[in-house]
Structure 1
């Protein structure tokens, strides 16, 4: 009974943390590994998570593996977020440029972890069990490969895939799984627009709970970076987790100089979008604004030609104070 209570407490905690970056739904909690829904990288999260169509940097390992196809130099990253209490999340990663792989494509790998800390154990009557304290954690390791495909009627197309293994630890209980991400990036002829699409977290869960499944997510996005507006970039994503509502994610970035950029983003819950549409049609109905529709802000600093530092401030539903996320990128010669 004590172990079952531990499992329940840990599972509820991990799911609650994941909900800080997703939305409540009647099927929430139906999937295992909800932590896969928490984004990685200070730049993408500062832009509201609108990153499916953004090409050419190491953050694409999480958001769309096709995005690493245009990386020209071997790159390393360290990413860290501090949660409430003693919870923390991070993701070290690397990408190897195609020239080192015989121009067959671009490859990369990462380890994504979430440490929920330690918990005091109690029995079914709420009595403290000092010798039964436990911990909860999650870890994911992935390898990615992407390459540019032959042009189709002037369109530039890249495709990528990620294979990953996942494990979740709650006290003495462990759940493992295998998953895949698939993504594409397209650029129309003579256009500043890029289009992206992904299917993430396809796979299976190895668990005694026969109802467990991966938190599959479908995403489509636009990215606009015009030569006329050289310093500004805009992104839009539509995101649909299998066990949650649609979200629309908007993000923007503006370079104040070659070495300093500011960013902002916002996530809109499906219900708020429906409210807007109803208002435009004159069918205003009672609507309570959800606090899941959150803003994010951030900056990017380039202290040298080979180093980038990104920081983000993230609104959330887990605590009143925002989360802070930091990423450092190092580009090899």
Structure 2
């Protein structure tokens, strides 16, 4: 009897030690990731430091009703077709093929359209294509995107098998001054440029995912003003976004992003969001974002999603987001076909 008790006690101690070892290993990995991200942030800031200039062309208004319903906290969570814009590493999390379309009337002034398609292939690979169009004959902007995602899951051992990588290449086109009522002296011409996003996601535990996105790490746009005979170039501001998402339960998850400023004239921005599956077809979302600077600007968002499955592997999703901000409230409407 004494021997059996001793054996049980030894087993209990071994379980505790193994659990502690696993926790220490996870803590060490997370500490290493934080250190690497800290170094990367410092390097990015030193390379891109200075003034962003904040050009008004090709402004990222936030695309996709689901991400915007969560306050833009989506870098680690990205697992649907919106991942093309938010973190291409999430493309390999697509269960099948997805097509989406989004419309936004920004500030009641400028219409924006976003359409995308994506799918997984060859088990560890995925691709996606998208188009963004905005404006009118006075100023029209179009962005074409091609994204690729890869995961070494099943190829490499832990912890690399929980890593996902992705890249999005962008071609930017613009035209301005096509309106006939502007007179002969109006500025008119066109622009052409490119951009590159690099992203990664890592599943630290079954309930915790970490993400990072280097948005427009390389980019430039060249303009040709035909009326004035001028040519010039400018860049879209780059940014580094660090994020995490965690599942409190099967129906409730939270996401947090830090959009790190790389310039002296822009602020860091915090994004927070939550998603709750109220019923199987109905999902509710709430979000919040705020800059970190001398003048505080906040925005709040509410969102909902409704999904209907026609059969296994085929369904339709409708998403809506309403964003409250200090200038003027806006909304996003998205429809997605999954097949």
- Counterpart-to-counterpart distance in 1, 2:210 and 2:83: 14
Give the alignment partner of residue 110 of structure 1, picking from 107, 118, 130: 130
Cα-Cα RMSD: 2.1
- Counterpart-to-counterpart distance in 1, 2:192 and 2:260: 24
* Matched-pair contact (CA < 8 Å) for 1:32–1:215: no
Deviation of the 1:240 alpha carbon: 2.5
Deviation of the 1:28 alpha carbon: 5.8
Deviation string, structure 1 residues 56-93 (Cα, Å, up to 9, x no partner): 21110110000111112111000111234452111110
- Counterpart-to-counterpart distance in 2, 1:84 and 1:246: 23
Give the alignment partner of residue 204 of structure 1, picking from 212, 220, 228: 220
Does 1:258 pair with 2:277? no
* Matched-pair contact (CA < 8 Å) for 1:32–1:212: no
Please give the secondary structure, in 2, of the residue aligned with 1:52. Answer: coil
Deviation string, structure 1 residues 165-214 (Cα, Å, up to 9, x no partner): 012322122222111111000012x4310000011112222236656112
Give the alignment partner of residue 57 of structure 2, picking from 33, 45, 54: 33
2:144: which partner in 1? 141
Does 1:159 pair with 2:175? no
Q: 1:179 to 1:240 in 2, by over 3 A?
A: same
Using structure 2 for the length normalisation, give the TM-score.
0.72
- Counterpart-to-counterpart distance in 2, 1:222 and 1:232: 14
Aligned pairs, how many? 264
- Counterpart-to-counterpart distance in 1, 2:325 and 2:173: 25
Deviation of the 1:241 alpha carbon: 4.6
Does 1:309 pair with 2:318? yes
Does 1:68 pair with 2:84? no
- Counterpart-to-counterpart distance in 2, 1:170 and 1:242: 29
Please give the secondary structure, in 1, of the residue aligned with 2:151. Answer: strand
Give the alignment partner of residue 47 of structure 1, picking from 58, 70, 92: 70
Q: Give the number of the structure whose residues are more often helix, by fraction.
A: 2
The 5-angstrom pairing of residues 177-188 of structure 1 reads 177-188=193-204
Give the alignment partner of residue 332 of structure 2, picking from 311, 314, 325: 325
Give the alignment partner of residue 169 of structure 1, picking from 169, 175, 191: 175
2:23: which partner in 1? none
2:270: which partner in 1? 248
Moved more, 262-271 or 296-305: 296-305
- Counterpart-to-counterpart distance in 1, 2:159 and 2:115: 36
1:277: which partner in 2? none
Deviation string, structure 1 residues 133-156 (Cα, Å, up to 9, x no partner): x51121100000101124453350
Q: Which ranges in structure 1 are unaligned for 5 or more consecutive residues?
A: 1-25, 118-133, 272-286
Please give the secondary structure, in 2, of the residue aligned with 1:294. Answer: strand
1:92: which partner in 2? 115
* Matched-pair contact (CA < 8 Å) for 2:54–2:236: no
Does 1:236 pair with 2:256? yes
Deviation of the 1:160 alpha carbon: 0.5
